Amino acid sequence: MKIAILGFGTVGSGVYDIIANGDTRMRVTAIFIRPTHPATMPEMTTDLDAILNDPTIDVIVETMGGLHPAHDYILQALQHGKHVVTANKAVVAKYLPEFTAVAAQHHVQLYFEATTGGGIPWIRNLERAARIDQIDTIEGIFNGTSNYILDQMQRAHLDFDPVLLAAKDMGYAEADPSADIDGEDVVNKLKISAALAYNMAPPRDVPTFGIRNVSKADIDFFASQHQVLRLIGKSKRDGDHYSMVVEPRLYSETALAANTFENFNLIRLHGQTIGDLQFYGQGAGKYPTANAIVQDLYDILENAPHLDRSFDQPLHFDANLNVTDYVLRADPMTFAMFNDRETEIVNDRLVIKQIPTGDMHKLMRGVLAIDADAFMAAIGDSELAAKDVLHQQDQEVIG
C-alpha cells in the first residue's frame, strides 16, 4: 500500500517514522510540503496535483491541521478515489457528514481515529459500542494540555502562567494555546464523538468555558475541600434530546478523573447493555497520535470497515438537559444575577444549586462582562448537592 502524507510536522513525521521502521506492506512514496518548507527528502513535493493524479497512491494521510486548505485537500483526495486518514479534529468536527457522503460516493474510506484521544483507541471502541447499544453518555478528559496545567497547578502548587510556559517548553501546548485552554479542542473532539454515538450532525455552538481564568487560589481552595479540578467534555442523550458542554468540573480527590495526571486523557462512555467503559492513555504527542493514524492504515490495508453512519438522526440539542451545581468566583456585585436561585456563599465564592447548564453558561457571559477574570466550575454530578461537596463550616444562605 502506497501512502502520501500531507504535512510533515510533528505528527506527519511520526507517521513516516513508524511506517519506515514497520510493516513492509506499507510505504510512504510522497510527502506534500508547502513551498516555504525546504525539501530535505526525496519523497517531498509541493505538487499536490501530482499526488492526487498518481494512480499508485492508495491512501492520503492529512496531518496539516486547521480548516483550510485541509477541507479542500481531503475532498479532492476522496474525489480522486483515495482513502483518507486524518488527525485533524477541527475539520472532521465541522465537515464529517460531508466527507462521509463523498467517501461513499467514490467507494473509499475516511478514517479519523487520531482526531480524538491521541493514542487511545477511543473512536474504534466507541463505534463498536454503538453497533449494539444506544450510547447515552460521553464524558471525560479529552485534552492533555489543559490536564497537564491543572495537574501541575495542584500537585506542584504553581500558578497558571508558569505552568503554561512549561507546557509550551515540553511541546504540550502550542505557541497560541487558546484552543486548549479555552476548550475549543475539547469541543471538536466531543462533536466527533457525539456524532458517531448518536448518528447525527453535531450542533454548531456548544456551551463552553475553559480554564484561562483559573488561579492558584482557586486550586488551593478546591484542594482544601478535597476536590480536584479537570476540564471536561460531556454529552448526554435522553430520548430524542441530547446535550453537550465543555467546562471545568470538580471531582472528589479519590475519583479516577482526579487521578488522571500529566497530559493523560480519561474518556468514558455509557451504553444500555455494556454499561460504563473507560479509556485511559496518552491523549496527544508525536508517536501516540501517529500510532492511531497507522492503526487506521492497517484497517484500510486489511479491509476492516468502520461503523457506517449517515449522521441523519433527527435529534434535538438541549443545552439545559443537564442540571447541576456550580461554584463561582467573581466580583460579589455579580452575585445578584443569581437572586432567583438557591445559593450559598462559601469562602467568598458563590455556590449555585441545581441550575441548568445552558442557563449557567448564559449567566456566566453576563458575569464576565462585569468581571473579566471570573471563574466557574461545575460540582459533581447533577444528583450531588453542593453541601455534599463543599462543606465549609461558615456558609451563608442567600437565595
Q: Which of 94, 189, 236, 353 is catalytic?
A: 189
Task: Please report, for residues 7, 31, 32, 41, 74, the alpha-carbon distance to residue 37 in angstroms, rounded to integers and kept in the order given.
Answer: 10, 11, 10, 11, 21
Give kind and range of the element (H or E) at residue 141: strand 135-141
Q: Is the CA virtual torsion 269, 275, 276, 277 positive or negative?
A: negative
Give start and end residues of each alpha helix (H) in the chain: 10-20, 48-52, 70-79, 89-105, 122-132, 144-155, 160-169, 178-181, 184-198, 216-224, 286-301, 357-370
Are 63 and 289 contacting, i.e. CB atoms less than 8 angstroms apart? no
Tell the residue number behind the cell numbers 495537574, with chain if given.
151
Beta strands in 239-292 (DSSP E): 241-252, 264-271, 275-282
Angle between helices 184-198 and 122-132 (to 10 degrees): 30
The CA distance from 353 to 399, in Å, is: 10
Cβ-Cβ contacts under 8 Å for 257 (sequence gap 6 or more): 140, 141, 228, 230, 232, 249, 251, 266
- Any catalytic annotation for residue 82? no
Q: Any idea which residues carry the catalytic annotation?
A: 189
